[in-house]
Amino acid sequence: MSKGVAITGMGIISAIGNNVVENYQSLIDGKKGISRVSKIKTNHVNDIMVGEIHFTNQELEQQLGLTSDNNYSRTALLGAVAAKEAIASAGIININAHKTGLISSTSVGGMDMTERYYYDYLENKATQKYIEGHHAGDSTQKIAEQLGIKQSLVTTISTACSSAANAIMLGARLIKSGQLDRVIVGGADCLSKFTINGFKTLMILSDTYNTPFDENRKGLNLGEAAAFLVLESDAVVQAENKNVLAYVKGYGNANDAHHQTASSENGDGATLAMEKALKVANYSPTGIDYVNAHGTATGNNDLSEGRAIIRIFGNNVPDFSSTKAYTGHTLAAAGAIEAVYSVLALQHNVIYPNLNFKTQMKEFNITPQLTLKEKPLQTIMSNSFGFGGNCSTVIFSKEQ
CA–CA distance, 256 with 259 (Å, rounded to integer): 8
Q: What is the DSSP letter of 384?
A: E
The chain-wide mean pLDDT, for the chain, equals: 94
CA–CA distance, 83 with 140 (Å, rounded to integer): 10
Q: Any residues with CB less than 8 A from the CB of 327 and at least 6 apart, and which?
A: 14, 15, 16, 33, 51, 223, 225, 337
- Quick one: which H or E segment has residue 25? helix 20-29
Residues in the chain: 400
Reported confidence tier of residue 116, pLDDT bands at 50, 70, 90: confident
CA–CA distance, 400 with 104 (Å, rounded to integer): 25
CA–CA distance, 2 with 6 (Å, rounded to integer): 12
Nearest to 214 by CA among 372, 345, 316, 364: 364
Summarised one tens digit per residue, pLDDT across range 294-337 is 999 999 999 999 999 999 999 999 999 999 999 999 999 999 99
- The whole-number average pLDDT for the span 120-127 is 79
- The whole-number average pLDDT for the span 165-179 is 97
Higher pLDDT, 383 or 202: 383
pLDDT for 117 equals: 82
CA–CA distance, 113 with 364 (Å, rounded to integer): 44
Task: Give phi and psi for 383, each to the nearest 5.
Answer: -100, 135
Summarised one tens digit per residue, pLDDT across range 375-391 is 999 999 999 998 877 89
SS3 224: coil
Reported confidence tier of residue 123, pLDDT bands at 50, 70, 90: confident
pLDDT for 250 equals: 97
- The whole-number average pLDDT for the span 69-78 is 96
Task: Give phi and psi for 236, each to the nearest 5.
Answer: -70, -45
Q: Any residues with CB less than 8 A from the CB of 1 and at least 6 apart, and which?
A: 281, 282, 283, 399
pLDDT for 134 equals: 86
Beta-strand relationship, 100-105 and 154-157: parallel
pLDDT at 264 over 90: no
pLDDT at 208 over 60: yes
